Chains A and B, each alone.
Chain A
Amino acid sequence: METTTQQVLSLLLVFATIVLVFAARILQARAGSRRKLRSIPAFERIPNWGSQAIEADSPLHLAFGSASIGEDNTTTALANAELFQRIIANNSAGDSPPTLSTSAPTTIPLASATVAAAWTGADGARNLHWYPQGKRALGYAAGISAVIGEDAPAAHILAGSFGMELGLILDSAGCNRQGSLAVSDQLEGQAVAFAMADEALIGEELFIAPAYVADASRLPAAAIVMDIWRALLMILVAAALVMGIAGQLPWLSWQLLALVALVALVLGVILWTLRRRRAEA
């Protein structure tokens, strides 16, 4: 793709997203809270861990990993901060302020502000750990493992940017029988999270996580916009696939393709209806 086209498309994408976020908020305010978030089992355990932390007077460990303000994973760091802020606010009745950790120094002010905004007790940011540095830093994992040994957190919410080093942290958590929820924007970390964490999120679930933790009754505008984009993307991928196949197989006529599309559509509608009925039952 040409650079100019790329630039224009990027700009269009950003503007369309902004407009959609606005539109979704307005529509939502008018239509009330009819739609609900789909169920993600991983989030159902967070309140339990919170209760355990409060009752055992132990902290929750919330980790950013190498998600950093100013680098390519800035949005991950922002989404984490919002998620952590809501988790901390939900658990601020406890005596132990949360343990936060990061391997990126730029995230320290963000983490500090997150705790300050959510923790009602005094000096909530006193357990803010930074261990140097860089992506996939095993030193960070080792530092956190030491903290796990000393502070004995009730559970670990490891949402951010992690590589393989996530395995060490999750292993420490498992050995100490502490619950863990993990998600990473790096694929290596995501694989480790899936195999070793008690609960794992995948992909964009990290970015809508705050909605689940705060108030599960209402679908946030961000989630609606993400659904719209996802649907568009799927249509685009499907169209590209069909066109690719059509280009490669000369006998494939447009009529045949249309027929296949129609059958798929009908099947989809039937399946969707069945599923809905079952859900209602």
Chain B
Amino acid sequence: MKGWRTVGASIAAITGFLVGFTALLSLLLGDNPALFGDDPQAEALAQNLALPGAALLRLLVIMLALSIVIGIANLLLLHARRMAGGRLMSGILLASFAAAIGWRILLPGEVSLLEAIQLPIESALAALLCLTLVAGGARILTKRSDIWGLLLVLVVVVVLLGSLPFPELAPIAAFSDWLMRIPAQAGARAILLGIALGSVVVGARALLGQDRSLRG
């Protein structure tokens, strides 16, 4: 049994590697004849090289488009089970789902449900989020009572003051602009670089089939 599992995992890893490698080469090298020098065949070669990558990407896009079906099936099954277990919220969710489908069938082309229900709800949530963030901001020092917490509070206050449209606050606005332009940018870029590095390494691991979640 274990032997078969290993074989299956190896086949999956090899297939993944081959497909991934082909796509990578095709996407990076394809469609750029300049890479192949002055060879008269360069154009055709570059185009042919681009084909597998493009085909795989198209396939992926189709699969991504279909994945919404998985999402809906998952949502319905999960909440049907939860409703059977007596969860009221799941019942409401399923009823809303049915109502929205019914609305769509009875009034084809009518899209105002989104504007009438979803938009106000999401806007209310955004307002709630604003309240939550302010309430969270008011408690930064209770959570982080160190120099970094203090710094965070100061920066938040300066940036907020800088965004106010009062002419008297112009010096603070200038300082806030500088804060956002230089130190905040530097920090943001550092974080993004870190994430990019991590992405490359995880990508390489996935390509090599070393990713545990892929091996199953």
Contacts and interface: CB of A to CB of B under 8 A. Distances in A.
Q: Do chains A and B touch in the complex (CB under 8 A)?
A: yes
Nearest to A132: B71
B214 interface: yes
Nearest to B196: A204
Contact of A78 (B32, B34, B143, B211): B211
A21 B67 CA distance: 32
Contacts of B74: 105, 108, 128, 130
Given A13-B200, A164-B129, A226-B198, A203 B89 contact: no
B24 A7 contact: no
A201 B207 CA distance: 25
Decide if the interface of chain A is mainly helix, strand, loop or mixed.
helix
Decide if the interface of chain B is mainly helix, strand, loop or mixed.
helix
Nearest to A168: B129
A27 interface: no
A195 B149 CA distance: 9
B204 interface: yes
Interface string A115-136: 0110000000011111111000
B195 to A, nearest CB: 5
Given A18-B204, A18-B208, A187-B192, A3 B32 contact: yes
Given A7-B32, A105-B70, A129-B78, A222 B200 contact: no
A53 B195 CA distance: 30
B185 to A, nearest CB: 11
Interface residues of B, number: 61
A38 to B, nearest CB: 14
A142 B137 CA distance: 21
Contacts, number: 182
B71 A167 contact: no
Contacts of A266: none
A75 B198 contact: yes
Given A226-B197, A226-B198, A21 B205 contact: yes
Contacts of A206: 195, 198
Contacts of A187: 188, 191-192
Nearest to A171: B132
Interface stretch (B102-110, B120-128, B163-171, B175-183): B120-128
A108 B60 CA distance: 16
Interface of B: 24-25, 28-29, 32, 34-35, 60, 63-64, 67-71, 74-75, 78, 81, 87, 89, 118, 121-122, 125-126, 128-129, 132-133, 135-137, 140, 143, 152, 188, 190-195, 197-208, 210-214, 216
22 contacts: A3-B34, A4-B35, A11-B28, A11-B29, A14-B28, A17-B200, A22-B208, A75-B199, A78-B211, A79-B202, A113-B213, A142-B125, A146-B89, A167-B136, A168-B125, A170-B136, A171-B132, A203-B195, A205-B194, A207-B201, A225-B201, A229-B201
